[in-house]
Structure 1
């Protein structure tokens, strides 16, 4: 895959890169505010990250700026942000340790097998609908856990288990898709 500056320095790619930076800004702000101090800054960071995630895809498609680099950068930004959110909340919600384990295994598999599929097919079709549903539900659950810190633990655990279900389902469907592509 050969890239020139025009393919690298697109607005969508810059927005994805900005989201990666925002994930680490969120991490620092979370630990500076303390577990119980849910500041307006944390809300603003997550909303800005969500907005830039939405915009990078819209701009890429509308202005024909879809690039192979963007198809890689966007999910990397998603995964870094998701990992940071889980790590930040793990101390408060012990069930998140299991979600993090599932997340790590799924993403390691997706990365390794995704490279094999890319080598074989020479094509990166991007995220499938089930991956998008999983991501959307994940963010909904994390935002609820983050901004309703006094949520009853049984409700929080139910949300985490539902999130785990969607993540496991996405993992299974991607594994099936990759198996079919590699057969």
Structure 2
């Protein structure tokens, strides 16, 4: 297992720690700690990609682990936010539905022995937007509800943009003949 894959496993290991800290946070410093854990996850996400590309450490395992760590982290953040703020479940449900569809499409391609491609620029853009918005919402839980809702709508727009941009990529991969 190479360094980028170890970083992906580390990100997965951070998920329950983040969830515990965030769900049990009662005072502002603990919300900062939860946000810092999420930030650490985002930084290691960035680093694993840079290291994999720069040192030619891209592997099929990494092409599975990295997006898995991304999606598990994002799903956990959304679920935790929904637990603390039930009024946002509609927007958070969009994320979950989109991720289930992408997971099923990716599994279908993988099962047909197609080589998986790395993430695209639009997926990376969405991930950056996701982390920025979630860090704001999680780190500052006293933001006005309307501001939080607006931030989640912005996140949903970027998420849907990435989703629709991935459709032709999945269709092309699905049609590839080996």
TM range (shorter): 0.7 to 0.9
User: Which residue does 2:10 correspond to in 1?
Assistant: 18
User: Which residue does 1:148 correspond to in 2?
Assistant: 140
Deviation of 1:16 (Å): 0.3
User: Which residue does 1:109 correspond to in 2?
Assistant: 101
User: Which residue does 2:88 correspond to in 1?
Assistant: 96
Given that 2:8 and 2:66 are in contact with CA atoms closer than 8 Å, whether structure 1 keeps it comes out as: yes
User: Which residue does 2:67 correspond to in 1?
Assistant: 75
Given that 2:52 and 2:58 are in contact with CA atoms closer than 8 Å, whether structure 1 keeps it comes out as: yes
Deviation of 1:120 (Å): 4.6
Deviation of 1:117 (Å): 2.5
Deviation of 1:181 (Å): 3.3
Distance in 2, Cα, partners of 1:132 & 1:88 = 22
TM-score (norm 2): 0.87
Distance in 1, Cα, partners of 2:150 & 2:70 = 23
User: Which 10-residue stretch deviates more, 50-59 or 157-166?
Assistant: 50-59
Distance in 1, Cα, partners of 2:165 & 2:15 = 27
Pairing 1:136–2:128 present: yes
Counterpart of 1:118 (choices 110, 115, 124) is 110
CA deviation profile, 1:22-60 (whole Å, cap 9, x unmatched): 0111111122323x5442432431232122112111111
Segments of structure 2 that go 5 or more residues without pairing to the other structure are none
Given that 1:95 and 1:157 are in contact with CA atoms closer than 8 Å, whether structure 2 keeps it comes out as: no
User: Which residue does 1:161 correspond to in 2?
Assistant: 153
CA deviation profile, 1:90-119 (whole Å, cap 9, x unmatched): 144345312322122111111111122234
Distance in 2, Cα, partners of 1:131 & 1:44 = 22
Counterpart of 1:64 (choices 45, 51, 56) is 56
Distance in 2, Cα, partners of 1:100 & 1:89 = 8
